[in-house]
């Protein structure tokens, strides 16, 4: 049974989420991927205010397709999070509470998550048309010249995801895989 | 000499771009469905169910299955008796990509320079591989390749003494390291032999083969089925969240090679494994 959560995330909500749990996220998400991360970090280096306040917020690693006529957004599934590992610790230290993407995170990100009580959600890679249905509003708020990589503010309802790495650093990619492979070994599966 | 008009190629490529991105191939859909029946974890079954539902939405609403609509790879098999009238073949393909990606509301994911990284804005250029053959046919096979899986691909120049065991270990190791990143369940193309670039090209081309078809040579067929069995014991599972269904297929292509070498390329493709083809 999926747990419904709302953004911005409170310390308590984050603390209670456990790796492996299925969640439905509602509220505001900010989209951010490679090029926009680079710009954001440059803003921080140069002391320029960020286009949105990070405190309690959740970032979604995505570069959506253009919206066809009559649609709010085009297909919008997660991209590989590992490419953002270089930038994530700095944003977590500034109050970012959650990240949504797919794929493994490195130890530096996980330790920044533990230090800051933050959570990493995995969305289903390639379920982009399905995920787009949870988006109710979309607005480009920074770097429009980056096209699909621009920063967008999304209002979502029941965005489907899994808690992959919780604030204690438990990693469901590892535990889920270990449990499955133990089961497969036991079965001597064909 | 048979004439094929430039415009025809443009139209065909544009249509293939939209078709490949919005319509999950029936062999892949069938493989996802049957994987759902044998998947051992609840999460895995739930993910496979979502992927099938996603494919239905994409087909009905004519939207992209995945937002990463890829860089377009095109294999052209051109008969020597064909003359393309009205312009260059490569220009026709790029114009087709330009139109297909605009008309299909597909994402433009190509940057003009790997270091300067300015988006070209129209998803061109395509990566084109041309084979000249006898006759007057023209076959265009198009495969928009997403980079979540492309980034997890690898190549090794093994020693002949490494043999089939070395090949097996390298493929398993590549899939193991990729984990959740390439959007499992994945399809794996393996190129064996030739030279460095030939191996990579075969690995890519192998991904075009339908999932229900094996290599005709018995020793390579055995390699394919053995690798698939071992990969599906790794436990990575759908979306990497744990399960049996890590791969839907392993396709090997091979070519003669040098007495000193055993090149192996592994090209990983996500569960969408987009492709479409047209004969003109």
Q: Answer whether A125 sits within 8 Å of B148, measured CB to CB.
A: yes
Of all residues in chain B, the one with the smallest CA distance to A61 is: B67
Contacts of residue A160, Cβ cutoff 8 Å, sequence gap at least 6: A2, A22, A23, A24, A123, A124, A127, A130, A131, A134, B50
Question: Which among B68, B108, B243 is the top mutation candidate for probing chain A, defined by the most A β-carbons within 10 Å of its own β-carbon?
Answer: B68
Domain count, chain A: 1
Buried b (16+ CB within 10 A) or exposed e, A85-101: bebbbbbbeeebbbbbb
Strands B127-133 and B154-158: unpaired
State whether residue A27 is helix, strand or coil. Answer: strand
Distance from the A185 Cα atom to the nearest Cα atom in chain B, whole angstroms: 7
Tell me, yes or no, if B229 comes closer than 8 A to chain A by beta carbon.
Answer: yes
Mutate to test the interface with A, among B229, B241, B245 (most CBs of A within 10 A): B241
In whole angstroms, give the CA distance from residue B204 to residue B235: 25
How confident is the prediction along chain B (280 residues), in pLDDT tens digits per residue?
Answer: 999 999 999 999 999 999 999 999 999 999 999 999 999 999 999 999 999 999 999 999 999 999 999 999 999 999 999 999 999 999 999 999 999 999 999 999 999 999 999 999 999 999 999 999 999 999 999 999 999 999 999 999 999 999 999 999 999 999 999 999 999 999 999 999 999 999 999 999 999 999 999 999 999 999 999 999 999 999 999 999 999 999 999 999 999 999 999 999 999 999 999 999 999 9
B121 chain-A contacts, CB cut-off 8 A: 147
CB A74 within 8 A of CB B63: yes
B111 touching chain A per CB within 8 A: no
Q: Identify which of A79, A130, A160 has the shortest CB distance to residue B68.
A: A79
Q: Which of A177, A178, A182, A183 to mutate to test the interface with B (most CBs of B within 10 A)?
A: A177
Contact: B117, A35; criterion CB under 8 Å: yes
A vs B, Cβ pairs < 8 A, gives: 178
Rounded Cα distance between A122 and A103, Å, is: 7
Measured between CB atoms, which of B41, B121, B180 is closest to A180?
B41
Q: Say whether A173 and B63 touch across the interface (CB within 8 A).
A: no
pLDDT tens figures, A55-107: 999 999 999 999 999 999 999 999 999 999 999 999 999 999 999 999 999 99
CA dist B194 and B264 (Å) reads 9
**Topology, domain B2-20+65-144:** Dihydrodipicolinate Reductase; domain 2 (3.30.360)
pLDDT in tens, A9-65: 999 999 999 999 999 999 999 999 999 999 999 999 999 999 999 999 999 999 999
The residue of A37, A61, A62, A126 whose CB has the most chain B CBs within 10 angstroms, and thus the best one to mutate to test that interface, is A126
Nearest to B65 among A66, A76, A126 (CB): A126
Interchain contact, B65 vs A177, CB within 8 Å:
no
- Domain of A93, in residue numbers: 3-186
> Given CB atoms, is B64 within the 8 Å cutoff of chain A?
yes
Domain boundaries, chain B: 2-20+65-144, 148-277
Task: List the single residue in A124, A133, A180 with the smallest CB-CB distance to B244.
Answer: A180
Q: What is the CATH number of the domain that holds A35?
A: 3.20.130.10
């Amino acid at each position: 049974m999926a747990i419904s959560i709302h953004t911005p995330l409170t310390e308590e909500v984050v603390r209670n989420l456990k790796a492996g749990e299925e969640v439905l996220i509602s509220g505001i998400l900010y989209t951010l991927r490679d090029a926009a991360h680079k710009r954001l970090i440059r803003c921080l280096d140069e002391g320029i205010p960020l286009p949105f306040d990070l405190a309690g917020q959740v970032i979604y690693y995505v570069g959506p397709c253009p919206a066809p006529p009559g649609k709010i957004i085009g297909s919008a599934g997660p991209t590989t999070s590992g490419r953002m590992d270089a930038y994530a610790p700095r944003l977590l230290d500034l109050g970012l509470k959650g990240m949504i993407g797919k794929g493994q995170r490195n130890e530096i990100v996980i330790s920044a998550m533990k230090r800051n009580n933050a959570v990493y959600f995995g969305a289903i890679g390639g379920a982009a048309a399905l995920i787009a249905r949870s988006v109710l509003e979309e607005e480009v708020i920074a770097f429009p010249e980056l096209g699909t990589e621009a920063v967008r503010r999304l209002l979502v309802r029941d965005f489907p995801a899994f808690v992959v790495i919780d604030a204690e650093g438990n990693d469901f990619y590892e535990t889920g895989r270990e449990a499955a492979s133990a089961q497969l070994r036991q079965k001597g599966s064909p | 000499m048979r004439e094929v008009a430039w415009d025809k190629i443009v139209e065909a490529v544009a249509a293939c771009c939209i078709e490949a991105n919005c319509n999950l191939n029936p062999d892949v859909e069938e493989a996802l469905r049957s994987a759902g029946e044998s998947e051992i974890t609840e999460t895995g079954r739930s993910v496979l169910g979502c992927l099938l539902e996603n494919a239905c939405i994409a087909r009905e609403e004519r939207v992209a299955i995945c937002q990463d609509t890829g860089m377009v790879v095109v294999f052209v098999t051109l008969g020597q008796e064909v003359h393309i009238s009205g312009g260059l073949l490569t220009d026709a393909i790029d114009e087709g990509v330009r139109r297909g990606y605009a008309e299909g509301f597909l994402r433009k994911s190509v940057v003009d320079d790997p270091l300067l990284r300015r988006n070209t804005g129209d998803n061109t250029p395509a990566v084109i591989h041309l084979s000249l053959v006898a006759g007057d046919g023209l076959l265009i096979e198009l495969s928009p390749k997403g980079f979540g899986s492309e980034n997890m691909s690898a190549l090794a120049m093994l020693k002949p003494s490494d043999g089939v065991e070395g090949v097996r270990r390298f493929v398993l190791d590549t899939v193991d390291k990729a984990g959740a990143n390439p959007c499992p369940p994945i399809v794996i193309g393996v190129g064996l032999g030739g030279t460095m670039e030939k191996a990579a090209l075969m690995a890519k081309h192998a991904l075009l083969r339908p999932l229900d078809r094996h290599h005709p040579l018995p020793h390579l067929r055995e390699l394919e089925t053995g690798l698939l069995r071992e990969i599906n014991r790794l436990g990575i599972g759908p979306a990497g969240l744990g399960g049996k269904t890590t791969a839907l297929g392993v396709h090997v292509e091979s070519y003669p090679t040098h007495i000193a070498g055993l090149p192996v390329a592994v090209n990983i493709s996500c569960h969408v494994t987009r492709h479409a083809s047209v004969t003109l």
